[in-house]
Copies of this chain bind each other. A is one copy, B any other.
Amino acid sequence: LRAKPRTQASLAVSADGVSWFLLNASPDIHRQIEGFPALWPRERRDTPIAGILLNNGDMDHCLGLLSLRESQPLKLYATAAVKRGFTEGNSLYRTLERFPGQVTWKILELGRTIRLEAPAGADSGLAVTAVPIPGKRPVHSGPGPDDAEDNVGFLIRDAAAEKTLAYFPAVGLPSHPLVEALGQTDAVFFDGTFWSGDEMATTGVGTAKARDMAHWPLGGPGGSLSFLERLGCRRILTHINNTNPILREDSPERMAVLAEGIEIAEDGWEISL
């Protein structure tokens, strides 16, 4: 199989190269930090990571938080629903409550822009807007009513540079807020989980459909690729499942994506807007 190994989907963003914000905390967060010296502690446990944004409550976006259970305070940005899904009824969360102020939650309201704080409340130069996106409750939250706050995409704005980055790693369906949000960005990291709706079954690794897992497949009529083709900004696929044929260097699906000028994310990429 001709394919490069990849860690799980995550991004670090910064306006000033000093304060960094992680977009999701995947289980392999330590390995990802090791791979990017700008995130290394400057001395002892003084971390350049000023905050972590969670776009939904899935394990592959949150589990890494529990590996960060050290003496370093942590600032987390998430909707109230995502916070509840991770903190309520979760005994393991106590490892992040070892001392008062270990974790500070900054609650994201849908459509409202707030600034991302550098240490000591200083300005990081970045602001975030949470865009509601059709998604689903995390598996560990069990059955229950969907909440518009369960899943969001992020618009991250550097006002001084007049640049906006979009991070939408989980998009269940097309929607008006999605179209509107991506019409005003300079680059988007977009949900590349699946190529087709039934590839978990056809590759023999499961039975769930892309639809059940709230990931809009790329290929076929009505696939997200036809939506992405019409965007004028830089477009990068991320959160790519290991069943997705675009990971194979020699697949026709990969060729179809690249031919549209759409990029397929790899570990270690650095991008300046």
A121 sits at the interface (CB 8 A): no
**What residues of B have a CB within 8 angstroms of the CB of A221 in the complex?**
none
A264 sits at the interface (CB 8 A): no
**What residues of B have a CB within 8 angstroms of the CB of A90 in the complex?**
89-92
A125 sits at the interface (CB 8 A): no
Closest B residue to A45 by beta carbon equals B205
Instruction: Give residues of chain A (65-82) contacting chain B, Cβ–Cβ below 8 Å.
Output: 66-67, 69-71
A100 sits at the interface (CB 8 A): no
**What residues of B have a CB within 8 angstroms of the CB of A98 in the complex?**
139
Which one, B30, B66, B71, B142, contacts A28 given CB within 8 A? B30
A48 sits at the interface (CB 8 A): no
Cross-chain contact A95 with B140 (CB below 8 angstroms)? yes
A31 sits at the interface (CB 8 A): yes
A204 sits at the interface (CB 8 A): yes
Cross-chain contact B71 with A205 (CB below 8 angstroms)? yes
Instruction: Give residues of chain A (43-100) contacting chain B, Cβ–Cβ below 8 Å.
Output: 44-45, 59, 63, 66-67, 69-71, 88-95, 98
A141 sits at the interface (CB 8 A): yes
Q: How far is the CA of A5 from the CA of B35 in the complex (A)?
A: 13
A27 sits at the interface (CB 8 A): yes
**What residues of B have a CB within 8 angstroms of the CB of A70 in the complex?**
205-206
Q: How far is the CA of A140 from the CA of B129 in the complex (A)?
A: 33
Cross-chain contact A66 with B71 (CB below 8 angstroms)? no
Given contacts A205-B44, A205-B71, A206-B71, contact A92 B59 (CB under 8 A): yes
Nearest Cβ on chain B to A246's Cβ, whole angstroms: 20
Cross-chain contact B31 with A95 (CB below 8 angstroms)? no
Nearest Cβ on chain B to A141's Cβ, whole angstroms: 7
Cross-chain contact A139 with B205 (CB below 8 angstroms)? no
Q: How far is the CA of A204 from the CA of B72 in the complex (A)?
A: 12
**What residues of B have a CB within 8 angstroms of the CB of A45 in the complex?**
205
- Could you say which of A45, A67, A91 has the most chain B C-beta atoms within 10 Å of its C-beta? A91
Cross-chain contact A92 with B206 (CB below 8 angstroms)? no
Nearest Cβ on chain B to A255's Cβ, whole angstroms: 26
List 12 interface pairs A-B (beta carbons < 8 Å), by A numbering. A28-B28, A28-B30, A28-B31, A45-B205, A59-B67, A63-B66, A89-B89, A89-B90, A90-B91, A91-B141, A94-B140, A98-B139
Given contacts A28-B28, A71-B205, A71-B206, 20 further A-B contacts (CB under 8 A): A27-B27, A27-B30, A27-B66, A27-B67, A44-B205, A59-B66, A59-B69, A63-B66, A63-B67, A70-B205, A70-B206, A88-B91, A90-B92, A91-B140, A91-B141, A92-B92, A92-B140, A94-B139, A94-B141, A98-B139
